[in-house]
């Protein structure tokens, strides 16, 4: 059975149906991408998985446990971290405090210190700026902080919502390298992106989303060579 | 010397306002609501103190914690019953509910204790403190010291414990805080709990100088503390402290040197001027649009 299994998910905002019966799965060790245009429902799916938005119907199972019946704040300790759209770091707290909050549910001080060291090794910039107020970081640094904060919970799966948004091309490449490294280190990744070209180049599999429905899915490689995907999402 | 004595009075009155203002500002910071029933929690604290001391003959060192406990439970209960179901409701609905809770507590006190004010033994009795040939009120000094201790404690709690940091995280972004594993409901409860316990202490100190409690005892200090919180910048903890102290000093000095009748008008006048110059209050944050 897949690590994360979503079945026939339906989500409404008031009377508007944003997700119209979607099924997908993420297996342990994979990088899975959800791609789609503005408003396709990518963020809504991730928010429903981590309980920020309620579902109307369907199932979400993580390691066989029903996530739709799990309160949002209990999900991170099950091993799932979410780097939300727009980063949503705590602007008024320091870099260090943001990272501390990432480990909020963990108790073992020695293990937390180890995770912190790991995050600082991966993002030396965060260590240099650990006392700085997070709101004053640059966009790229804020994205690093958002990812670092998620890693502080020692997740088995990490959900990322457009990590490349608003970043300079140089930073975009760096962030994608880091995502690959995180995956190689053993963390499963579910990533949402508009930057389809980049994300398909690092993903194992992908799902193409259009107005709340999955219209295509498959190996990232073959989607990259698919004519309709090329036309719609790769600008070719 | 007369001026110095007035200043001490102002500081002590101001620290009572500050303690109450902390409750307004913490709750606003986390729930973005004005808890207008907060002033009436002081009244409940004062009645509790009075019952604990005169009826049950508790010594002050027991009566004060009992009063804090009752107020803390009351604060959490109010949030649970009245405000929690309205988390997604319009701010206006929440505001009207808060005013309703305030009237409810006042009417309940009226029903139980009647409208005549009840004499309360002071829980704090320190005589005059003489410094050379100059004397200042011992109660004022105790009030000031106790407030300083509580404020330092609260500031430490917010900035150095994970619960405190969770409070800051929730006040900035509830959703992101949940993703960190923070239980938002519990954090809001802790906020109401600590704000109400501080209000109980404020009630004890207020009653120590005022001497009586009635069903409406909480309204005036409640409103003044609300003004203090807005003056300092609502949502800001240091702002509530500063706003409270300033308000107390302005009120005391106005009473002593300008006019007793005009003192309140001056207090509100200062608020209006400050808000005209700096709409977010003295230490208030700039309101930034979230993208
Ligand atoms: N809070 C909300 N209330 C009402 N409608 C919403 C809300 N959030 C999203 N929607 C609607 O749901 C649909 C899906 O939105 P969603 O944010 O999930 O899309 P997305 O694929 O993440 O888009 P983007 O690439 O722009 O981030 C859109 O039509 C959007 O307008
Ligand atoms: Mg989105």
On whether both A175 and A108 belong to a single domain, the answer is: no
On whether both A114 and A176 belong to a single domain, the answer is: no
> pLDDT over 70 for what percent of chain B?
98
On whether both A62 and A172 belong to a single domain, the answer is: yes
> Given this model, what pLDDT does residue B20 score?
96
- Given A113, A136, A154, the domain boundary residue is A154
Indicate the number of domains in chain A. 2
- Of B175, B36, B44, B39, nearest to B94 by C-alpha is B36
Neighbours of B155 (CB within 10 A): 14
Distance A224 CA to ligand 1 centre (A): 25
Question: Which residues in A lie closer than 8 A to residue B182 (C-beta atoms)?
Answer: 73, 101, 104
Q: Look up the domain containing A10 and give its range.
A: 1-79+155-236
On whether both A142 and A200 belong to a single domain, the answer is: no
Q: Is residue A161 part of a domain?
A: yes
- Least Cα separation, residue B70 to chain A (angstroms): 29
Closest CB to B180 among A52, A91, A101: A101
CATH of the domain at A25: 3.40.50.300
A136 vs B: CB within 8 A: no
**Inter-chain touch B291–A86, beta carbons under 8 Å:** yes
Which residues of chain B, if any, have pLDDT below 70?
286-291
On whether both A140 and A159 belong to a single domain, the answer is: no
> Given this model, what pLDDT does residue A148 score?
97
Q: Is residue A84 part of a domain?
A: no
**Where do runs of H (alpha helix) occur along chain A?**
42-49, 95-102, 109-122, 124-128, 139-151, 169-184, 196-202, 220-224, 227-233
Phi, psi of B290 (to 5 degrees): -80, 135
Burial letters A105-127, b for 16+ CB under 10 A, else e: bbeeeeebeebbeebbebbebbb
Q: Which residues pair with A5 in a beta bridge?
A: A25, A61
Q: What is the position in ligand 1's atom list of the atom closest to the CA of A37?
A: 25
| ipTM metric | 0.94
Q: Is residue B61 part of a domain?
A: yes
On whether both A33 and A118 belong to a single domain, the answer is: no
Tell me the residue length of chain B: 291
d(CA A19, CA B130): 75
On whether both A59 and A95 belong to a single domain, the answer is: no
Would you give per-residue pLDDT tens digits along chain A (236 residues)?
899 999 999 999 999 999 999 999 999 999 999 999 899 999 999 999 999 999 999 999 999 999 999 999 999 999 999 999 999 999 999 999 999 999 999 999 999 999 999 999 999 999 999 999 999 999 999 999 999 999 999 999 999 999 998 888 888 998 999 999 999 999 999 999 988 888 999 999 999 999 999 999 999 998 988 888 877 777 76
Q: Is residue B255 part of a domain?
A: no
Neighbours of A130 (CB within 10 A): 15
- Given A129, A154, A179, the domain boundary residue is A154
Indicate the SS3 state at residue A209. Answer: strand
Best mutation target, A13, A46, A50, A72, to test chain B (most B CBs within 10 A): A72
With vertex at residue A226, the alpha carbon angle to CA A222 and CA A230, rounded to the nearest 5 degrees, is 120
Best mutation target, A95, A104, A142, A154, to test chain B (most B CBs within 10 A): A104
Q: Look up the domain containing B53 and give its range.
A: 12-112+138-225
Distance A42 CA to ligand 2 centre (A): 5
Pocket test for ligand 1, best of A42, A55, A191 (most atoms within 8 A of CB): A42
On whether both A13 and A71 belong to a single domain, the answer is: yes
d(CA B220, CA B224): 6
Q: Is residue A215 part of a domain?
A: yes
Q: Is residue B164 part of a domain?
A: yes
Q: Which ligand is nearest to the CA of A18?
A: 1
Pairing of strands B134-137, B128-131: antiparallel
Q: Is residue B108 part of a domain?
A: yes
Contacts of A144 (CB under 8 A, 6+ apart): A123, A125, A126, A175, A178
With vertex at residue A31, the alpha carbon angle to CA A28 and CA A36, rounded to the nearest 5 degrees, is 130
Which protein residues have their CB within 5 A of the ion that is ligand 2? A 42-43, 85
Neighbours of B57 (CB within 10 A): 9
Q: Is residue A203 part of a domain?
A: yes
Q: Is residue A20 part of a domain?
A: yes
On whether both A161 and A63 belong to a single domain, the answer is: yes
Cα-Cα-Cα-Cα dihedral of B154, B157, B159, B161, to 10°?
Answer: -170
On whether both A97 and A146 belong to a single domain, the answer is: yes
Query: SS in 3 state form for B155-177?
Result: HHHHHHCHHHHHHHHHHHCHHHH
Neighbours of B42 (CB within 10 A): 33
Q: Is residue B23 part of a domain?
A: yes
Distance A70 CA to ligand 1 centre (A): 23
> Given this model, what pLDDT does residue B80 score?
97
Distances (CA, A) of A58 to A10, A45, A48: 6, 12, 11
Q: Is residue B187 part of a domain?
A: yes
Rounded to the nearest 5 percent, the helix, strand and coil shares of chain A are 40, 30, 30
Q: Is residue A97 part of a domain?
A: yes
Burial letters B181-216, b for 16+ CB under 10 A, else e: bbbbeebbbbbbbbbbbbbbbbbbbbbbbbeebbbb
- Given A134, A154, A174, the domain boundary residue is A154
Name the burial class of residue A236, with classes exposed (0-12), middle (13-18) and buried (19+) by CB atoms within 10 angstroms of its CB.
Answer: exposed
Phi, psi of A31 (to 5 degrees): -110, 115
Q: Is residue B171 part of a domain?
A: yes
Indicate the number of domains in chain B. 1
Q: Is residue A27 part of a domain?
A: yes
Q: Which ligand is nearest to the CA of A40?
A: 1
- Residues in the ligand 1 pocket, defined by CB under 6 Å: A 13, 16, 18, 36, 38-44, 85, 194
Q: What is the position in ligand 1's atom list of the atom closest to the CA of A44?
A: 18
Structure tokens at B69: 């406990």
Name the burial class of residue A13, with classes exposed (0-12), middle (13-18) and buried (19+) by CB atoms within 10 angstroms of its CB.
Answer: exposed
Q: Which residues pair with A24 in a beta bridge?
A: A6
Answer whether B280's CB lies under 8 Å from B233's CB. Answer: yes
Q: Is residue B56 part of a domain?
A: yes
A39 vs B: CB within 8 A: no
On whether both A18 and A71 belong to a single domain, the answer is: yes
Q: Is residue A208 part of a domain?
A: yes
Distance A137 CA to ligand 2 centre (A): 22
């Amino acid at each position: 059975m897949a690590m994360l299994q979503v079945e026939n998910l339906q989500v409404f905002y008031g009377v508007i149906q944003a997700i119209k019966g979607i099924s997908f799965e993420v297996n342990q060790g994979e990088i899975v991408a959800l791609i789609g245009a503005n408003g396709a429902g990518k963020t809504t799916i991730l928010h429903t998985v981590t309980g920020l938005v309620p579902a109307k119907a369907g199932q979400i199972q993580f390691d066989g446990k029903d996530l739709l019946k799990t309160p949002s704040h209990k999900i991170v300790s099950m091993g799932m971290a979410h780097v939300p759209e727009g980063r949503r770091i705590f602007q008024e707290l320091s870099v260090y405090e943001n990272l501390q909050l990432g480990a909020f549910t963990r108790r073992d001080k020695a293990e937390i210190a180890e995770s912190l060291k790991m995050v600082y090794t991966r993002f030396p910039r965060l260590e240099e700026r650990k006392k700085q107020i997070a709101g004053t970081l640059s966009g790229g640094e804020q994205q690093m902080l958002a990812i670092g904060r998620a890693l502080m919970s020692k997740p088995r799966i990490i959900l990322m919502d457009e990590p490349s948004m608003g970043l300079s091309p140089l930073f975009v490449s760096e962030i994608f390298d880091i995502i690959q490294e995180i995956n190689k280190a053993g963390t499963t990744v579910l990533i949402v992106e508009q930057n389809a070209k980049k994300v398909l180049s690092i993903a194992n599999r992908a799902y193409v989303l259009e107005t709340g429905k999955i219209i295509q899915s498959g190996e990232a490689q073959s989607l990259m060579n698919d004519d309709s995907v090329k036309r719609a999402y790769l600008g070719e | 010397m007369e001026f110095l004595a007035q200043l001490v009075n102002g500081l002590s009155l101001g620290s009572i306002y500050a303690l109450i203002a902390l409750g307004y500002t913490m709750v606003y910071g986390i729930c973005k609501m004005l808890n207008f029933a907060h002033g009436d929690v002081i009244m409940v604290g004062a009645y509790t103190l009075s019952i604990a001391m005169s009826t049950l003959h508790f010594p002050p060192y027991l009566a004060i914690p009992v009063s804090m406990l009752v107020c803390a439970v009351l604060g959490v209960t109010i949030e649970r019953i009245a405000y929690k179901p309205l988390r997604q409701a319009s701010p206006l609905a929440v505001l009207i509910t808060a005013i309703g809770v305030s009237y409810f507590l006042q009417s309940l006190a009226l029903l139980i204790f009647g409208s005549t004010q009840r004499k309360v033994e002071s829980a704090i009795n320190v005589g005059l403190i003489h410094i050379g040939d100059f004397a200042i009120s011992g109660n004022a000094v105790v009030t000031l010291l106790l407030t300083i201790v509580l404020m330092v404690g609260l500031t430490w709690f917010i900035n150095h414990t994970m619960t405190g940091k969770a409070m800051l995280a929730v006040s900035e972004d509830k959703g992101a805080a949940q993703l960190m594993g923070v239980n938002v409901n519990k954090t809001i409860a802790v906020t109401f709990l600590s704000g109400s316990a501080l209000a109980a202490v404020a009630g004890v100190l207020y009653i120590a100088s005022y001497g009586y409690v009635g069903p409406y005892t909480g309204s005036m200090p409640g409103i003044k503390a609300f003004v203090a919180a807005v003056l300092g910048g609502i949502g800001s903890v240091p702002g509530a402290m500063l706003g409270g102290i300033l308000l107390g000093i302005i009120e005391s000095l106005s009473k002593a040197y300008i006019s007793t009748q005009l003192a309140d008008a001056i207090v509100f006048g200062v608020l209006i001027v400050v808000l005209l110059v700096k709409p977010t209050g003295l230490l208030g944050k700039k309101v930034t649009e979230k993208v």
